[in-house]
Amino acid sequence: MNVILAIEILAAIGLLVFLILKVKLQPFLALLIVSIVTGLLAGLDASELITTIQKGMGGTLGFVATIVGLGAILGAILEASGSATALANYLLHKFSIRNAPLAMVITGFFIAIPVFFDVAFIILVPVLYALQKKTGKSLLLFGIPLLAGLAITHAFIPPTPGPVAVADIIGVHLGWVIISGFIAGIPTALISGLWFGKHIAKRINVTVPKELDINENENIQLPKISSVVFIIGLPIFLIVLKTITDSGIVHISNSFIKETILLVGHPFIALILANLFAWYILGIQRGFSKQELVSLTTKSLSTTGIIILLTGAGGVFKQVLLDTEIGKAVAEAMVSLGFPIIVFAFLAAAAIRVLQGSSTVAMITAAGLVSPLLETLSLSNMQLAALVTTIASGASIFSHVNDSGFWLVSQYLGLSEKQTFQSWTVMITILGCIGFIASSILFILF
Over residues 203-218, the mean pLDDT reads: 69
Q: Of the ranges 27-36, 80-89, 247-256, 329-338, which one carries the lowest mean pLDDT score?
A: 329-338
Q: How confident is the model at residue 26 (pLDDT cuts 50, 70, 90)?
A: confident
Judged on CB neighbours under 10 Å (0-12, 13-18, 19+), 407 is middle
Give CA–CA dist 266/259, Å, rounded.
Answer: 11
pLDDT confidence of residue 211 = 56
In the predicted structure, residue 306 carries a pLDDT above the cut 80: no
Q: How confident is the model at residue 218 (pLDDT cuts 50, 70, 90)?
A: low
Q: How confident is the model at residue 279 (pLDDT cuts 50, 70, 90)?
A: very high
Give CA–CA dist 159/72, Å, rounded.
Answer: 9
Could you read off the pLDDT of 31-48 as tens digits, one per residue?
899 889 888 888 888 889
In the predicted structure, residue 338 carries a pLDDT above the cut 80: no
Give CA–CA dist 105/142, Å, rounded.
Answer: 9
Q: How confident is the model at residue 424 (pLDDT cuts 50, 70, 90)?
A: very high
Rg value, the chain, Cα: 22
How long a stretch of residues is the chain? Answer: 446
DSSP tag of 422: I
User: Taking a C-beta distance cutoff of 8 angstroms, is the pair 63, 104 a contact?
Assistant: no
Give CA–CA dist 85/98, Å, rounded.
Answer: 19
- The per-residue pLDDT of the chain, averaged, comes to 85
pLDDT confidence of residue 334 = 63
DSSP tag of 338: T
In the predicted structure, residue 246 carries a pLDDT above the cut 80: no
Judged on CB neighbours under 10 Å (0-12, 13-18, 19+), 94 is exposed
Give CA–CA dist 105/231, Å, rounded.
Answer: 20
Judged on CB neighbours under 10 Å (0-12, 13-18, 19+), 187 is middle
Over residues 409-413, the mean pLDDT reads: 84
3-state secondary structure (DSSP) of residue 191: helix
Give CA–CA dist 299/284, Å, rounded.
Answer: 18
Handedness of CA 174, 176, 179, 184 (dihedral sign): negative
In the predicted structure, residue 203 carries a pLDDT above the cut 90: yes
Counting residues of the chain whose pLDDT is more than 70, the rounded percentage is 92
Could you read off the pLDDT of 152-174 as tens digits, one per residue?
999 999 888 889 889 988 989 98
Residue 325 Ramachandran class (φ > 0 left, ψ -120 to 50 alpha, else beta): left
In the predicted structure, residue 358 carries a pLDDT above the cut 70: yes
Residue 70: CA count within 13 A, CB half-sphere: 22
User: Taking a C-beta distance cutoff of 8 angstroms, is the pair 328, 375 a contact?
Assistant: yes
In the predicted structure, residue 216 carries a pLDDT above the cut 80: no
Highest mean pLDDT among 315-324, 327-336, 360-369: 360-369
User: Letter for the amino acid at 349?
Assistant: A
In the predicted structure, residue 1 carries a pLDDT above the cut 50: no
In the predicted structure, residue 257 carries a pLDDT above the cut 70: yes
Could you read off the pLDDT of 225-243 as tens digits, one per residue?
899 889 988 888 888 888 8
Over residues 326-353, the mean pLDDT reads: 77
Strands (E) across 115-165 are located at none
In the predicted structure, residue 434 carries a pLDDT above the cut 60: yes
Could you read off the pLDDT of 68-119 as tens digits, one per residue?
888 888 888 888 888 878 888 888 888 888 899 999 999 889 888 877 787 7
Regarding predicted confidence, which is higher, 309 or 210?
A: 309
Residues 6+ apart with CB under 8 A from 312: 56, 57, 60, 61, 64, 65
CB atoms closer than 10 angstroms to residue 339: 14
Q: How confident is the model at residue 329 (pLDDT cuts 50, 70, 90)?
A: low
Regarding predicted confidence, which is higher, 14 or 380?
A: 380
Angle 328-333-336 (CA atoms, 0-180°, nearest 5)?
125
Residues 6+ apart with CB under 8 A from 66: 268
